Amino acid sequence: MGATGIAVASAASANAGVAASRARDAECVAKMGQFQPATATVQQQRDYASCVHRLHGDGEPMDAGAVIGLKVVVLASFVCAAGGAVWGWDEEGGSGAFMGALVGAVAPWFAALVLALAVAGLQFLFS
């Protein structure tokens, strides 16, 4: 099978997956419309709950502060990786640049983790 055949097969598989997902969504909408909580069995209640989860997700999206915090950490990760690569290149050449970039990329995530744990600890102590 050539590359074109693989691409066609992949597209057909993706389309079949989307169609199956839409069929499950339609089935859930029908189940939710017909659900009678007073007379439902445990299995019907579980099916209803799984349909609610499927159609509506887990709940609230991330708040704006968390999104901004993640964006800041990702940006800091890129900046620190570039800075670490430059500093490592000046110190040790190619391998130093790689290690500097790696440490620079990981350091903001570690700092954010430590900060988040400190804030959570303080909230726990004073709650």
Which is higher by pLDDT, 3 or 86?
Answer: 86
- pLDDT tens by residue, 52-110: 888 887 767 788 888 999 999 999 999 999 999 998 888 888 888 899 999 999 999 99
Residue 6 pLDDT > 70:
no
pLDDT value of position 96: 87
**Average pLDDT of 26-52?**
87
For 35-52, give the DSSP string: --TTT--HHHHHHHHHHH
Q: What is the DSSP letter of 1?
A: -
Residue 20 pLDDT > 90:
no
pLDDT value of position 124: 93
pLDDT value of position 111: 94
**Average pLDDT of 104-122?**
94
pLDDT value of position 117: 95
In angstroms, rounded to a whole number, what is the distance separating the alpha carbons of residues 126 and 95?
Answer: 46
Assess contact for 101 and 82: CB atoms under 8 A: yes
Mean pLDDT of all residues belonging to the chain: 85
Tokens matching residue 64: 């704006």
Residue 16 pLDDT > 80:
no
Instruction: Give exposure, 36-68, as e/b (b: 16+ Cβ within 10 Å).
Output: eeeeeeeeeeebbeebeeeeeeeeeeeeeeeee
